[in-house]
Amino acid sequence: MSKTESSVEPAIPTLWLVGKTGAGKTSLMQALTGAGGVGDGFSPATRASQLHDFPKDDPVVRFLDTRGLGEAGYDASADLAQAEARAQAVLAVVRLDDAVQAPVVSVLRSTQLPVLIVFTGADLVPGPGPQERARAHLRAQVGRDLPFVTLALPADGQVTGLDTLLDALDSVMPTVAKALRRAEEARSFAALRPLVLRYSAMAAAGDVVPVAGLAVVPAAQGAMLHALAARHKVSLTPARLAVLGSALGLGTLARIAAGHALRQGAKLVPVAGQTLGVAMAAGTSYATTYALGRAASAWLHGVARGAPADTASLRALYDQALTGARDATR
């Protein structure tokens, strides 16, 4: 949700995006949140200072996107003073191929807020030598060393360097970095959800036949885990499977196995037991397979980026997915 500056709620951490017109502020925000409609490539899209809540319905971070500095006829002093008072950190967005950064330098010299410089245009200034000269030029103007990252924000949307940016944000606003990482993982799972749904349906279908489900369901779940690992480009070794089991809690996996065995037994009870057992087994196998896939995808997303398993978050994600899948099958 976009709001004017007058509606800022201080309880929500605010990142101030400052930079010249065309530096890539709105494109950076779009890349971090996955939200569309806020700019494309290096095209100037900001026309006034606005706040963008993320996520829209239950925001954990706000981006304060001030109008591009250096625009003809724009006196930025009032906007900059308000932004300084309301933000908790600054993301200074600077194009590597633009050496004239006087308006940005002025902000960086005066602000008392934590600063992270985001150099964009790595695709426009290739090679470490020219890029370092551009960074050194800005550093000399500001008069102090500031943390920085370098990104490419090409018009085709294939942003590179976001993981490095999130790592750097950990030292500036760790809660914001964590929230943005969760959002990135959620976007990753959105593309993988059809795969998880397919294997969940396979597990449910295999659980309809008495006893056969004892083999079909674990096979479907195992195939799903390997398929997810392949999509995340992670080798699913026995050691890594043990880490996943530990992260989810051995009790969780034991409950899945024990519950599955009980459902198979219920299907062997004559008449009513078969009817109820089949329905219960299929629905529960669907839900547990989906929940396992959802949690495993989040874990694999972290493994691919060298992040340690967050046991509490994975278990909460599994429980949330299990509840949602159960509700969907009722």
d(CA 54, CA 58): 7
Asked if residue 119 is part of any domain, the answer here is yes
Amino acid at the residue 83: A
d(CA 155, CA 42): 7
User: Do residues 208 and 314 both lie within one domain?
Assistant: yes
Helix (H, G, I), strand (E, B) or coil at 301: helix
Q: What is the pLDDT of residue 297?
A: 94
Q: HEC profile for 236-281? A: CCHHHHHHHHHHHCHHHHHHHHHHHHHHHHHCCCCCHHHHHHHHHH
* Nearest-5° Cα angle at 112, 107 to 113: 90
User: Do residues 194 and 122 both lie within one domain?
Assistant: no
User: Do residues 223 and 254 both lie within one domain?
Assistant: yes
Asked if residue 92 is part of any domain, the answer here is yes
User: Do residues 195 and 295 both lie within one domain?
Assistant: yes
* Interaxial angle between packed helices 311-329 and 238-248, expressed in degrees from 0 to 180 and rounded to the nearest 10: 80
Q: What is the pLDDT of residue 193?
A: 93
pLDDT: which is higher, 193 or 46: 193
Q: Report residue 203 as tokens.
A: 């597990």
The total number of structural domains that make up the chain: 2
Q: Of 172, 195, 230, which residue constitutes the final position of a domain?
A: 172
Query: Which strand ranges, in their side-by-side order, compose the sheet holding 115-120?
Result: 2-3, 50-54, 61-65, 14-19, 89-95, 115-120, 148-150
- Global confidence as pTM: 0.63
User: Do residues 45 and 132 both lie within one domain?
Assistant: yes
Q: What is the pLDDT of residue 283?
A: 65
User: Do residues 160 and 237 both lie within one domain?
Assistant: no
User: Do residues 264 and 160 both lie within one domain?
Assistant: no
User: Do residues 103 and 130 both lie within one domain?
Assistant: yes
pLDDT-based confidence at residue 250 (cuts at 50, 70, 90) = low
Q: Of 137, 172, 207, which residue constitutes the final position of a domain?
A: 172
102-116, 208-222, 250-264: which has the minimum mean pLDDT?
250-264
pLDDT-based confidence at residue 73 (cuts at 50, 70, 90) = low
CB 102, CB 76: distance < 8 Å: no
User: Do residues 137 and 201 both lie within one domain?
Assistant: no
Task: Identify the top-confidence range among 73-82, 304-313, 314-323.
Answer: 314-323
| Averaged pLDDT, 260-288 | 49
**81 pLDDT above the threshold of 80:** no
32-46, 48-62, 174-188: which has the minimum mean pLDDT?
32-46
Instruction: State what percent of residues in the chain have pLDDT above 90.
Output: 18
Expressed as residue numbers, the domain containing 250 is 182-329
Q: What is the pLDDT of residue 263?
A: 42
pLDDT-based confidence at residue 43 (cuts at 50, 70, 90) = very low
Instruction: State what percent of residues in the chain have pLDDT above 70.
Output: 74
CATH number at 152 reads 3.40.50.300
User: Do residues 242 and 96 both lie within one domain?
Assistant: no
| Averaged pLDDT, 79-92 | 78
Q: Of 142, 172, 202, which residue constitutes the final position of a domain?
A: 172
pLDDT: which is higher, 133 or 305: 133
